[in-house]
């Protein structure tokens, strides 16, 4: 066999190996994908029970209820329509989790239609100010921030 044909065979084998590795990786990760749902999408076409998804929307005002154990919280997530999805979460709530704020809940839909969250990500709006800087003027806050970063750079 000529050297030219040997190189061609090696290139074809290498391409097949790369395609095979890609297909194998895609097949093994197929159940790891988290799909993102808005409340109106989840109400219209709910995911399979137990499928890992993310639910994003706003915490409905007046809907946060803490159960007797003090750790489990029930609330409603709303979107752009009147659809609201009930959510149950057991764990420590993020500091920014309040009524009317944005939230992304990771978890799965239960058989009773309640979204069982395993992780909550709270969002803040563009007017967010850290607790340490609340009540400070713009110049004073900039001075504190500059002092903090100077300590980090050195």
Binding-site positions for heme read 124, 128
Per the structure block, which two tokens stand in for 119?
A: 């992780």
CA distances in angstroms from 56 to 19, 42, 102, 114, 116, listed in the order given: 35, 10, 8, 14, 13
Beta strands 84-90 and 115-122 are parallel
Residue 27 DSSP SS3: helix
Binding residues: 124, 128
Cα gap 46→81, rounded to integer Å? 16
């Amino acid at each position: 066999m000529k050297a030219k044909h040997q190189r061609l065979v090696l290139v074809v084998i290498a391409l097949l190996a790369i395609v095979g590795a890609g297909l194998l990786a895609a097949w093994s990760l197929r159940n790891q994908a988290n799909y993102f749902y808005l409340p109106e999408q989840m109400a219209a076409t709910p995911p399979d029970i137990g499928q890992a998804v993310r639910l994003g929307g706003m915490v409905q005002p007046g809907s946060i209820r803490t159960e007797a154990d003090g750790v489990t919280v029930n609330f409603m997530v709303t979107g752009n329509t009147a659809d609201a999805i009930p959510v149950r979460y057991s764990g420590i709530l993020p500091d920014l989790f309040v009524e009317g704020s944005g939230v992304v809940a990771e978890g799965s839909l239960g058989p009773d239609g309640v979204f069982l969250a395993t992780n909550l990500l709270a969002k803040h709006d563009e007017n967010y100010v850290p607790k340490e800087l609340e009540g400070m003027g713009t110049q004073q806050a900039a001075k504190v921030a500059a002092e903090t970063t100077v300590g980090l750079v050195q």
